[in-house]
Amino acid sequence: MTRLVVICGATATGKSSLGLALATRLGSVVLSADSRQVYREFDIGTAKPTVAEQELVPHYLIDICDPTDTMTVADYQEQAQAFIASIPISPMLLVGGTGLYIRSIVQGMKIPRVPPHKELRSQLESLGQTQLYAMLQQVDPAAAQKIHPHDPVRTLRALEVYYVTGIPISEQQGENPPNYPILQIGLDCDSERLGDRIHKRTEQMIANGLVAEVDFLCQKYGADLTLLNTLGYQEIRQYLTGEISLEQAKELIVLHTRQFAKRQRTWFRAYPQIEWFNADDPDLLENVWRRVQEFTGI
């Protein structure tokens, strides 16, 4: 029977290294659950597994999309479910910090297959969030009850699905959990230690060539590429255009990453199925390994 081990948690908690170590012991594979590692050429700033790491353990669901394309949660779910169904390896590991990607697999989210419509979105956005939320309350009150009045992303998506399909998004959503066992492992540490980890990783990314990577991507795709507005890339792009110094860019990356990590921790803490481990525990690997052995019966 297929079994899935999930390694999740905030950025910089060591998910990738733990997943790599476990996959090596298990003779297994890693499925990435990172919304930016799916894009080719975005490597250093997304902490994508290195070539050596990918040679050591097969990694899937990375480098599967061009930077000019859009990978939706539904697209990711479809590809991930296909891999899990087709790879005769058990257990396999799902590793990453993108909560919706993980939830789409472990809870079997039903996701409306409605691609983004730029023209419709532009028209809706011009109305402002207050009016958009009022519209949502009229056409899909059930969805409005679950969406905060000041959440423009989910409000816009709910309206987009409604106006494209004519069916409220609340009627198209739900869950169809998989029938195989899942063990969810979460990594966490206190805020101060996480801040230290984020600072060190930012310095390492700069040392590994993040500035050159961003410069190359700006030259190839244009500085207005959506992905270049994301964490780590936006700040270095500002440095390259002379808006800020490199030191300021690093400080902003650390600040914005800490803010992002805080949101991730809040997201994952809402799911009681996750079993938490201290990322700074020197016996982390052995403790998690024992739990995986219990889960798999190895």
Q: How far apart are CA 213 and CA 198, in angstroms?
A: 19
With CA atoms as reference, report the closest residue to 295 among 52, 59, 6, 62: 6
Q: Is 15 annotated as a binding residue?
A: yes
Q: Is 110 annotated as a binding residue?
A: no
Q: Where are the beta strands (DSSP E) in the chain?
A: 4-9, 30-32, 59-60, 92-95, 109-110, 174-175, 182-188, 275-278
Cis geometry, peptide bond prior to residue 91 (ω within 30 degrees of 0): yes
- Dihedral through CA 94, CA 197, CA 50, CA 247, nearest 10? 140
Q: Is 45 annotated as a binding residue?
A: no
Q: Dig out the tokens for 59 from the structure.
A: 């990694």
Q: Is 262 annotated as a binding residue?
A: no
Q: What is the residue whose two structure tokens read 């700033």?
A: 45
Q: In what order do the strands lie in the sheet with 4-9?
A: 59-60, 30-32, 92-95, 4-9, 182-188, 275-278
Q: Is 19 annotated as a binding residue?
A: no
Q: Is 9 annotated as a binding residue?
A: yes
Of the CA atoms within 13 Å of residue 164, those in its CB half-sphere come to 19
Say if CB 228 and CB 218 are below 8 A apart. yes
Q: Is 11 annotated as a binding residue?
A: yes
Q: Is 257 annotated as a binding residue?
A: no
Q: What are phi and psi of 20, to 5 degrees?
A: -65, -45
Q: How far apart are CA 205 and CA 70, in angstroms?
A: 25
Annotated binding site for ATP: 9-16
Annotated binding site for substrate: 11-16
Binding residue ranges:
9-16
